């Protein structure tokens, strides 16, 4: 239940979501278009006994987030392209050492400094594969200020519950958009972000002995349960181990503990727009879109329906693990799928993997620092529908 609504920026809603979920620590390095999150964190966190640290770079920011989380504080950082690149190594440490944390990437166009602070969505694969080695990946993508709030809460919940880093992948359009956001009662947030805790005699505790859900309970630095976190391959105690069987099991568990819970996570949102009454039946067109592009795709779907073509939009709120079954079901119901995105075609590869040869899948790609407009999506659709 919403306690109140407030008019706010996407970035502000991300901060509100983090606080609602129980964040107590932020470390970052300023970069547009994410800096509002840091600025707000610098006053709001200390006001509730938390800590804001401005670190010397993003490698340090990610390191400090891991340290703070290990000491028991739900922790996050926010950045954009160049900073997200610098965070990759320690993101891998968080995944391997199983230290919960949330990393917000308010995407801008790249590569490098690119068209600094213009829109882009080209970090989708980086969010999946940016750090080296096999690793789990959990990524949410808001398309509105409200979703900035909701998905940040979701990110904290899963980061803590699964002892894993979670990435919130907004884009500059969403981060700087101002909209009404319904904010729940702060009391409702209390127990949201909570990690599994050890029970029983402290001497028996092992930092990496998994519970039935594959997630090992985590004690805080300072507790009588002594914690040995390790970014090197390790055994259940956290002691280094070079045993291939052990290593294989660990990598499998890191990925499986996330995969096993996807059914409980936010995944997609459906929109359907049908042609006016009496229009001749035609196969539907499905848009698969995410972030700010989903908003343009929704407009395009409305216009397409006006032209007599049934239009569907599957908005991806979770990018990784990719919502395979939702995409498959929606794509098979439609005659063809169009994937608009602000890059040269990244999510379209996943849609093609899921759909295979069963239906045509078309890319609607744009990578020049400008958002994709509904007209452009419509034009591309009419081209491939052959209308």
Partner 1 sequence: MKARDYLIEEAMPLFWCRGCGNGIILHALLRALARLGKSREETVVVTGIGCFGKADDYIRTHSIHGTHGRALAIATGVKAVNPGLTVLALMGDGDCATIGGNHLIHAARRNIGVTAVVANNLNYGMTGGQFSATTPQGARSSTSSFGNPESGFDLCRLAGAAGAALVARATVYHAALLESLLVEAISCPGFSLVEVMSSCPVYYGRYNGIPDPAAMMRWWQESAVPASRYAELAPEEKQGRFPIGRLGGSDRPAFSERYARVQEAAQAGAGRWIQAGTDR
The binding site for partner 1 (CB under 8 A) comprises 6, 8, 12, 16, 19, 24-25, 27, 39-40, 42-51, 53, 55-57, 59-73, 75, 89-90, 93, 97, 183, 186, 220-224, 226-232, 238-240
Residue 380 in contact with residue 364, Cβ under 8 Å? yes
Residue 78 Cβ, how far from partner 1 at the closest point, in Å?
A: 15
Question: Which lies closer to partner 1 via its Cβ, residue 75 or residue 314?
Answer: 75
Place of tokens 């990946």: 137
Residue 42 Cβ, how far from partner 1 at the closest point, in Å?
A: 8
Per the document, the length of the chain is: 387
End-to-end CA distance of the chain: 45
DSSP letter string over 191-223? TTS------S-GGG--TT---TTS----PPTTS
- Cα separation, 311 vs 329, whole angstroms: 15
Residue 26 Cβ, how far from partner 1 at the closest point, in Å?
A: 10
Question: Which lies closer to partner 1 via its Cβ, residue 62 or residue 364?
Answer: 62
DSSP letter string over 234-261? B-TTS-B---HHHHHHHHHHHHHHHHTT
Residue 167 Cβ, how far from partner 1 at the closest point, in Å?
A: 18
For residue 173, what are its two tokens? 């359009």
The closest alpha carbon to 170, from 138, 144, 193, belongs to 144
Question: Which lies closer to partner 1 via its Cβ, residue 183 or residue 385?
Answer: 183
Residue 233 Cβ, how far from partner 1 at the closest point, in Å?
A: 11
Q: What angle do CA 180, 183, 189 make, to 5 degrees?
A: 155
Question: Which lies closer to partner 1 via its Cβ, residue 236 or residue 376?
Answer: 236
Residue 61 Cβ, how far from partner 1 at the closest point, in Å?
A: 8
Question: Which lies closer to partner 1 via its Cβ, residue 16 or residue 352?
Answer: 16
Question: Which lies closer to partner 1 via its Cβ, residue 187 or residue 277?
Answer: 187
Residue 222 Cβ, how far from partner 1 at the closest point, in Å?
A: 5
Distance (Å) of CA 232 to CA 92, 163, 228, 276, 334: 11, 17, 11, 60, 47
Rg of the chain over CA atoms, in angstroms?
21
- Cα separation, 14 vs 36, whole angstroms: 10
Question: Which lies closer to partner 1 via its Cβ, residue 233 or residue 303?
Answer: 233
Residue 65 Cβ, how far from partner 1 at the closest point, in Å?
A: 6
Question: Which lies closer to partner 1 via its Cβ, residue 207 or residue 363?
Answer: 207
Q: What is the DSSP letter of 264?
A: G
Residue 323 in contact with residue 268, Cβ under 8 Å? yes
Residue 168 in contact with residue 103, Cβ under 8 Å? yes
Question: Which lies closer to partner 1 via its Cβ, residue 71 or residue 279?
Answer: 71
Residue 225 Cβ, how far from partner 1 at the closest point, in Å?
A: 8
Question: Which lies closer to partner 1 via its Cβ, residue 79 or residue 90?
Answer: 90
Q: What is the DSSP letter of 280?
A: P
Peptide bond into 33 cis (omega under 30): yes
For residue 150, what are its two tokens? 């909701």
- Cα separation, 380 vs 374, whole angstroms: 10
Helix (H, G, I), strand (E, B) or coil at 387: coil
Residue 31 Cβ, how far from partner 1 at the closest point, in Å?
A: 17
């Amino acid at each position: 239940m919403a306690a109140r609504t407030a008019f706010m920026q996407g970035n502000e809603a991300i901060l509100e979501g983090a606080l609602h979920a129980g964040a107590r620590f932020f470390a970052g390095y300023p970069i547009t278009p994410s800096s509002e999150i840091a600025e707000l964190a610098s006053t709001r966190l200390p006001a509730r006994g938390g800590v804001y640290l401005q670190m010397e770079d993003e490698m340090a920011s990610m390191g400090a987030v891991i340290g703070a989380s290990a000491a028991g504080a739900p922790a996050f950082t926010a950045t954009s392209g160049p900073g997200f690149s610098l965070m990759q190594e320690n993101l891998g440490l968080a995944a391997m050492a199983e230290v919960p944390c949330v990393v917000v990437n308010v995407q801008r166009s790249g590569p490098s400094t690119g068209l600094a602070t213009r829109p882009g969505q080209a970090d989708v694969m980086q969010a999946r594969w940016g750090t080296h080695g096999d690793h789990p990946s959990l990524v949410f993508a808001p398309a509105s200020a409200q979703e900035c709030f909701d998905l940040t809460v979701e990110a904290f919940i899963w980061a803590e519950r699964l002892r894993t880093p979670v990435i919130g992948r907004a884009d500059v359009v969403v981060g700087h958009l101002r909209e009404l956001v319904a904010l729940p009662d702060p009391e409702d947030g209390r127990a949201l972000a909570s990690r599994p805790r050890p029970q029983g005699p402290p001497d028996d505790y092992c930092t990496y002995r998994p519970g039935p859900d594959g997630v090992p309970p985590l004690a805080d630095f300072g507790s009588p349960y002594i914690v040995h976190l390790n970014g090197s391959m390790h055994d259940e105690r956290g002691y280094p181990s070079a045993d291939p069987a052990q290593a294989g099991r660990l990598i499998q568990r890191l990925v499986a503990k996330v995969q096993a819970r996807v059914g409980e996570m936010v995944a997609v949102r459906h929109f359907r727009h049908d042609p006016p009454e009496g229009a001749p039946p035609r196969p539907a067109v499905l848009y698969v879109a995410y972030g700010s592009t989903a908003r343009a795709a929704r407009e395009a779907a409305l216009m397409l329906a006006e032209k007599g073509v049934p239009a569907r939009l599957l908005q991806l709120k979770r990018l990784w693990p990719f919502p395979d079954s939702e995409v498959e079901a929606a794509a098979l119901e439609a005659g063809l799928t169009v994937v608009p995105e602000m890059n040269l075609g990244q999510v379209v590869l996943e849609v093609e993997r899921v759909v295979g040869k069963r239906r045509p899948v078309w890319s609607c790609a744009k990578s020049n620092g400008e958002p994709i407009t509904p007209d452009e999506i419509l034009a591309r659709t009419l081209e491939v529908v052959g209308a």
